[in-house]
Amino acid sequence: MIRLGVLISGSGSNLQAIIDAIAEGRLDASIELVVSSRPDAYGIERAKQAGIPTLALNKESYADPLAADTLISGELEKANVDYVVMAGYMRMVRGPLLQAFPDRIINIHPALLPSFPGAHGIADAFAAGVKITGVTVHLASEIYDEGPIIAQRAVEICEDDTLESLEQRIHSVEHQLYPQVLQLIAQGRVRVDESGVVRIRED
Ligand code: GRF
């Protein structure tokens, strides 16, 4: 059983997938706190409906980004979380958070990193005309969308795909993959080796 803090900025569909996986017994975890970088994120509603405490920040909170991350890491530590899960969180995580949770901050990205990092991973892959894109779950580092990769799933881009149809498939893969990876972590099967590569113990 692991205690999670979840960082969001938007609709929170990945947060919902994690809430559902916990409720259905597919993920041995609890969500102790949801932090939103935006006060109007729909994910805050999802958290409230699930009875999860929330902390909503705004633009002003990030005027000093290090102070913001000090505040966030303090709240996560107070809530006694083991892992921090970024789920559509559109801010960098900086020193104070990374130091408080070394190798314990996880991010999901809607492309096969290191290809197509940044805020528009799906659209950028679609526009580039690649035939395979996908989803990456990785440990966060000081560099946005970088850090040791835990898991990836490929998603084929078909001739008749539109950006919208591709987005739908990518999101449904995200919603399956993220809880699965978190369950591997809950089972203690994920570690980072001496060379910084993630190893997953087979059962
Ligand atoms: C997801 O595609 C995630 O990979 C990306 O932002 C999106 C967030 O969606 N970083 P949601 O807020 O979880 O619905």
**Which CATH number does the domain housing residue 23 bear?**
3.40.50.170
166 vs 163: CA distance, rounded Å: 5
Adjacent-strand bridge partners of 29: 2
Q: Is 110 in the pocket of ligand 1 (CB under 6 A)?
A: yes
Please check the confidence at residue 203 and state whether its pLDDT lies above 90: no
Is 171 catalytic? The answer is: no
Protein residue with least CA distance to atom 7, ligand 1: 88
List pLDDT tens digits, range 92-146.
Answer: 999 999 999 999 999 999 999 999 999 999 999 999 999 999 999 999 998 989 9
Contact (CB, 8 A) for 21 and 42? no
Q: Separation of 8 CA from ligand 1 center, angstroms?
A: 8
Domain with 61, as residue range(s), is 2-200
Pocket test for ligand 1, best of 13, 42, 155 (most atoms within 8 A of CB): 13
Q: What is the pLDDT of residue 35?
A: 98
Burial 64-93 (b: 16+ CB within 10 A, else e): eeeebbbbbbebbeebebbbbbbbbbebbb
Q: Domains in the chain: how many in total?
A: 1
Q: Is 109 in the pocket of ligand 1 (CB under 6 A)?
A: yes
Pocket test for ligand 1, best of 11, 13, 14, 44 (most atoms within 8 A of CB): 14
Listed in sequence order, the residues at least 6 apart from 101 whose beta carbon sits closer than 8 Å to its beta carbon are 73, 76, 81, 83, 84
